[in-house]
Structure formats: structure tokens, C-alpha cells
Structure 1
Amino acid sequence: MDKFMEMLENILMPLAEKLNNNRYLSALRNGFMVALPMIIFGSIFVVIANLPFLDRVLGEDGFSAYQAALGPASDATLSIMGLFVIIGIGYKMVEQRGGEAIYGGVVAIASFLIMTPQIVEEVGGVIPTASLGAQGMFLGIFTAFISAELYHLFVRKNLTIKMPEGVPSAVSRSFSALIPVTITLTIFLAIRILFSFTGFETVQNFIYTLVQQPLTALGSGLPATLIAVLLIQVFWFFGLHGQIIVNSVFDPIWYSLNDENLAAFQAGEDLPHIVTKQFLDTFIVGIGGSGMTLAVIICIFVVAKSRQMRDLAKLGGPSGIFNVNEPVIFGLPIIMNPLVMIPWLLAPVVVAAVTYFAMSVGFAPRPAGVIVPWTTPALLSGYLATGNNLMGAVMQLINMGIVFVIWFPFVKLLDKQYYGEEMSAAEPTN
């Protein structure tokens, strides 16, 4: 076991360090964090607009008017979430290099809009909302990366206008950015023109056909999801924040899938995907945090005799309700503890597979695309994430039961060890 763990550590630690320090993944992760408040705001109003039984209370016409009044909240946030992510990525990319970060965000969004088709049903000068959401997500990410790099390159080459002393700093910075922004946007305009002569017609069609569709299909499947869940647990086991590392790679896929489910939910259509951002965040992470440790805390309360275990449960219980589980991860401990390696790695993978199967056969509802804040307690989060469906909460309850059963013998083993140590320490010495 020691040699196996040492081998894993030698492989995973350098990989995790590279992923954590990669400026593109860091900017991508932080870009989504910039967009998160708007995403949550829009999701809250999607929930409010679809409260159960309101259609019976308000009547068909009244309910339609009610939804139309609240619709702009999600239309201006969730439906165009790609814009916020792009601004965040461009901003963070330039900020990492010590440049004028605001121009990184501005040039990223302008470059993306240049590349985006501006026609809807033969009406020019109109940008389709779908292009600003899930469909344009990958184009936006690539555009933000490239435009920020180009902007920084031209600034580093001193292709800037130097204003004389005494000119207000805001004016000076604006003129300093003029040439780098102009060259960068001209390059993207040239790319758009060149693609208009190809069979794809637009860069967006090119990216969507060759990159986004295949990756989305891969990320929405069970095998890739199980690998992602397992990697999250493995990284955490070695003391690395598994969600930050793995989500940096998968979030663009999961958010795109989430957005497609939201569009179908709002249109009253069948939800196309099982695996989405909320599939992971609500039915796995959202049950006590990474590793679903709320069920572990309950298990400790049920079986533990040792003072150490019971004190840990009392300490970790309140925070675990809100999916904060550092007391358990560091107090049990879970990190580098071979006694809990099996349940720690196994339980979330089993839960992911069971949840996927339950949703595929219709036993549990699929995530509706509503982004529920990660601190929302279990059962309530399952209800909200599935479009106010009680079976979402039932599915979370079943998942907690699965984790409880898997962890039960290992909690008893740990408790027996700690209890024995406490009894030995309490015995008087001769």
C-alpha cells in the first residue's frame, strides 16, 4: 500500500501543480467565478418564475404574464453567461501579466462579437442570444485566450502611444491601449472574413462542429463523468483541491450542457442531458462537500464511541450542512489516510453511476439547468436544481444512504482504533 501511494503521489503531485499553475486554466477558472454572481441571480429568478402550483393560482394568462415579467432576469444573465465568462477570462489573463486588466476584458468581448454571426432570420445587425450562451461558449473561451495574449504581446512590444506628462491618467491609459486594441481587433476581423469563404462560413460554426460538439458529447457521457469524479477524490486524498483542478478542465463542457437543459426547461421541452454542472454540484458535491461527507458525519453520530470521532462530528456537522467539509477532511483525517482511501474514492463514483441510471430511466428528474448556490443544504438543493421537483430531494436522500452504507464499516474501524487509544491513555500507569 505504501509503495502504491508513493507511486500515485509521484505521478499526481507534479500533474496537479502544473494544472494549478497553468495560466490558461487559472484564467478560465477565475473567469467563471466572475460570471457566477450573475448566473446565480438568473437561476434564482428561474426558480421563482416556475414555482409549483402558481399556474393554478394565477390562471393560464396570469401565469404567462408573471413569467414574462420575470423573464428578463434570466435572459440578461443566464442566457448570455458566455459574455461574462469571456470578460472575466480576458481580464484575468492580462491581470496575471501585470497589464491594464480592464482592456483585456474589453478586447476579449469585442473580439468575440466580431467573430459572432450578426444576423437572425436574414435580419442583419442582430446577435442571436444562443451565440452568447452555451453555443458560443467555446468560441468565446478561445477568443478570450488569444485576444488577451495578442493584446499583451503588442503592449510588451511598446506598440503604444505615449502621452506627455500632465495628461490625465485615464486619458493616457486609453491612448496607450489604442494601438494594441486596434491591431488585435483587426486580426480577428481578418479571420472572420477569411472564414466567410470556407464551407463553415463562420468561426463559430467551425469551433462548434469540430471542437464543442465532440467534447460536449464526451463530457455528457457516464465514463468521462466517472473519471472526473474519481480524479477529484484522488487529488483531494493527496491534499490538493480536486474540484478546482478538475473543474478547470470540465466546467466549460458542464456549463454548456447546463445551459442547454435550462433552455429546454424554460421552453417546456424534454431535458436533453443528465450530466451537467448541477449534476455534479447538487447530487455529489452538494451533499456535504467533496466526498459527500455529510453522510459520514451522520454515520459517526450513529456508531461512534470514541470522543475524538464524536467531537469531530459535532464540529463538522453544522458546516457540513452547508457543504463545507474541511473539518472532516483534515480532522478525520481523510488526506493521506489509507484507512479511508477505499470509501473516499468509491462512494462518489458509485453515487454518480446510480444517479445517472436513476435519471436515465426517469426515476429521478434531470437537472433543469438552474444554478443552485453550492452552500445550499442537501434536499433543498435537489428540489431547486430539478426545477422544484421533490424527487430531486429524494434522489439526494438515496445518495446519502449509499454513502452511509459504504462508509459504515470503515467508520466503525476508525472508531475502534481511536476508542482503543483513548482507553489505553486513560488507564493508570504502574
Structure 2
Amino acid sequence: MNKFMEFLENMLLPIADKLNNNRYLTALRDGFMVALPLIIFGSIFVVIANFPFLDKLLGEDAYTAYQNALGPASAATLSIMGLFVIIGIGYKLTQSYGGEAIYGGVVAVAAFLILNPQELDGVTGVIPTAILGAQGMFLGIFTAFIAAELYRYFVNKNWTIKMPPGVPEAVSRSFSALIPITLTLSVFLVIRILFSFTPFDTVQNFIYTIIQEPLTALGSSLPATILAVLLCQIFWFFGLHGQIIINSVFDPIWYTLNDENLKAFQAGTELPNVITKQFIDTFLVGMGGTGMTLAVILLIFLIGKSRQVKELGKLGGPAGIFNVNEPIIFGLPIIMNPLAIFPWLLAPVVVTAVTYFAMATGIVPKPAGIIVPWTTPIGISGFLATGNSWRGAVLQIVNLLIVMAIWWPFLKIMDKNYYENEKAKK
């Protein structure tokens, strides 16, 4: 066991350290965080607009009018979430270099719009909203990175207009950004023109066909999801924030899949994806935090005898209800604990497989694309994430029991060791 742990530590820690400190992955993660409040706002109104049995109570016409009245809330947030993510990435990346962050954000958006079609159904001067959501996510991410870097490059070359003293600061900053922004956007305009001579016509079509579709298909598979979950658990075991590391890579894929489900849910058609952002956040993380440690807390109250474990249960219980589990991870401890590594790695993998097959076979509805805040307690989150289905809540309870069964013998051993040590010290 010690040799195995040493092997994992030597192999994974350098990789995790590089990922954790990577400027681009950090900007990507923070960019999604910028969009998160808007995404949650839109999700709340999707839930309100789709309360169960409301169509029976209001009648068909009144229910349609009710949904149409609330529709702009999600259309202006969830449906164009890619736009907010692009602003966030450009802003955060420029900020990390100490530049004028707001110009990094706006130049990223402008560059993205230049690369996209500006025509819909033969009408020019119209930007299709689909490209501002999931469909344009990958192009938006690449564009934000490149645009922010080009803007920084031109600023560092001092290709700026210097205004004389006495000019208001806001005016001076605008003129300082004029040449770098002009040069940056000119690069993207040239790229757009060049792609107009290719079979893809636009960069958006190229990225979507060559990169986004294959990656999305891969990310929606069970093996890829299990690998992501397993790596997250391994990083946490060594004291590294696995969620930050893994989500930085997989979030663009999971959010894209999430948005596809949301559109299908709103249209009343078959939901295309089992794996989505809410699959991870609600049925894995949303059960007491990473590793679903709410099950460990419940076991502590059921079988705990040692004072250390009992006090830990009291301390971690209230936080665990809202999916905050640092007291358990660091207090049990789980980090670098040989007795915890087996259930810590096995339980999320089993629950991932059970949840996937329950949804793939139709026993439980697939996630409806509704972003449920990660602090939402178990039961409520499962109900909301599956489009107000009680079966989503039941699946969470089943998953909780599975995790408890896996952890039972290992927690029993840990508690016994603590109890005997406490007795020996008396």
C-alpha cells in the first residue's frame, strides 16, 4: 500500500501542481465563475416556469402565456451563457497579467462575434443566439485566450496613444486601448476573411465540426466521466483541490451538454445527454461535497464510538447538509489516510455508474439542464435537477445508501482504532 501511494504521489502531484497553477486553466475556471450567478438566475426561472401539474391547474392557454412571460429570464442568461464566459475569460486572463481587465473582456467578445456568422435565414446583420450558447462555447474559449494575449502583446509593445496630462483618466485609458484593440480585432477579421474561402465558411463551423463535436461526444461517455471522477478523488486524497483541477478541463464539455438538455427540456423533446454539469454537481458533489461524505457523517452518528469521530460528526454535520465537507476531509482525515483510500475512490465510481444506468434506461429522468446551486441539500437538488421529478430525489437517497454501505467497514476500523487509543490514554 505504501509503495502504491508513493507511486501515485510521485506521478500525480507534479501534474496536479502544473494544472493548478496554469494561467489559462485558472482564467477558464474563473471565467465560468463570472457567468455562474447569471446561469443560476436563469435556472431558477426555468424551474418556476415548469412546476409540476401547473399546466393542469392553469389550463393550456394560461400555462403557455405564463411560460412565455418567464421565458426571457432564461433566454437572456442560460441561452447565451457562452457570451458571459467569454467576457469572464478575457477579463480574468488580462487581469492575471496586470493589464486593463475590462478591455481584455470586451476585445474577447468582439473578436468572437467577428468570427461568427452574422446572418440567419437569409437575413443579414443578425447574430444567431445559438452560437452565443453551447454551440459557440469552444470557439469562444479559444478566441478569448488568443484575443487577450494579442491585446496584451500590443500593449506591452507600447503601441498606444499617450494623452497629455489633465485629460480625464477614463478618456486616457480609452485612447490607450484604441490601437491594441484595433490591431487585435484586425487579426480576427483577416482570419474570418480567410475562412470564407474554405468549405467551412466560418471559424465557428470549423471549430464545431473538427473539435467541439468529437470532444463533447467523448466527454458524454461513461468511461471518460469515471476517469474524471476518479482523478478528482485521487487529487483530493493528496490534499489538492480535485474539483478545481478536473473541472477546469471538463467544465466546457459538461456545460455544453447541459445546455443541449436545457433546450430540449424547454422544447418538450427527448433529452439527449445523461452526463451533464448537473449530473456531476447534483448526483456526486451535491451529496455532502466531493466524495459524497454526507454518508460518512450519517455513519458516524450510527456507529461512531470514539470521541474524536463523534465530535467530528457534530462539527461536520451542519456543513455537510449544504455540501461543504472540508471538516470531514481534513478531520477524519481522508487526506493521506490508507484506510480511507479504498472507499474514497470506489464509492464515487460506483455511484457514477449506478446514476448513469438509472438515467440511460429511463428509470430516472436525465438532468434537465437546470443549474442547481451546489449548496442545495440532497433530495431538493435531485428533484430540481431532473425537472421537478421525485425520482431524482429518490436516486440521491439510493446513492447515499450505496456510499454508506461501501464506507461502513472502513469507518468501523478507523473508529475502533481511535476508540482504543483514547482508552489507552486514560
Residues 369-419 of structure 1: CA deviation (Å, up to 9, x unaligned): 000000000110000000000000011011001100000000111111111
Q: CA RMSD in A?
A: 0.6
- Residue 116 of structure 1 deviates from its aligned partner by 1.2
Letter in 2 for 1:228: A
Structure-2 residue corresponding to 1:216 = 216
Q: Secondary structure at the match of 1:376?
A: coil
Structure-2 residue corresponding to 1:113 = 113
Structure-2 residue corresponding to 1:188 = 188
Q: Secondary structure at the match of 1:269?
A: coil
Q: Secondary structure at the match of 1:363?
A: coil
- Residue 315 of structure 1 deviates from its aligned partner by 0.8
Structure-2 residue corresponding to 1:56 = 56
Task: Say whether residues 1:126 and 2:121 are aligned partners.
Answer: no
TM-score if structure 2 supplies the norm length? 0.99
Structure-1 residue corresponding to 2:68 = 68
Structure-1 residue corresponding to 2:90 = 90
Matches of 2:365 and 2:314, distance apart in 1:
33
Query: What are the ranges of 5 or more consecutive residues in structure 1 without an aligned counterpart?
Result: none
Letter in 2 for 1:23: R
Residues 111-170 of structure 1: CA deviation (Å, up to 9, x unaligned): 001111111111111111110000000000000000000000000011100111111110
- Residue 50 of structure 1 deviates from its aligned partner by 0.3
TM-score if structure 1 supplies the norm length? 0.99
Residues 162-198 of structure 1: CA deviation (Å, up to 9, x unaligned): 1111111101100000000001111101111110110
- Residue 424 of structure 1 deviates from its aligned partner by 1.1
- Residue 305 of structure 1 deviates from its aligned partner by 1.1
Letter in 2 for 1:226: I
Matches of 1:316 and 1:96, distance apart in 2:
35
Letter in 1 for 2:65: A
Residues 287-334 of structure 1: CA deviation (Å, up to 9, x unaligned): 000000001111111111111111111111110000000010010000
Structure-2 residue corresponding to 1:205 = 205
Query: What are the ranges of 5 or more consecutive residues in structure 2 without an aligned counterpart?
Result: none
Structure-1 residue corresponding to 2:250 = 250
Letter in 1 for 2:414: L
Letter in 2 for 1:339: L
Matches of 1:208 and 1:106, distance apart in 2:
23
Structure-1 residue corresponding to 2:391 = 391
Letter in 2 for 1:240: L
Sequence identity (%): 74
Task: Say whether residues 1:401 and 2:401 are aligned partners.
Answer: yes
Matches of 1:361 and 1:10, distance apart in 2:
40
Letter in 1 for 2:263: A
Structure-1 residue corresponding to 2:331 = 331
Task: Say whether residues 1:353 and 2:353 are aligned partners.
Answer: yes
Letter in 2 for 1:161: I
Structure-2 residue corresponding to 1:294 = 294
Moved over 2 A (4+): none
Residues 55-106 of structure 1: CA deviation (Å, up to 9, x unaligned): 0111000000000000000000000000000000000111011000000001
Letter in 2 for 1:347: A
Structure-2 residue corresponding to 1:100 = 100
- Residue 10 of structure 1 deviates from its aligned partner by 1.4
Task: Say whether residues 1:160 and 2:166 are aligned partners.
Answer: no
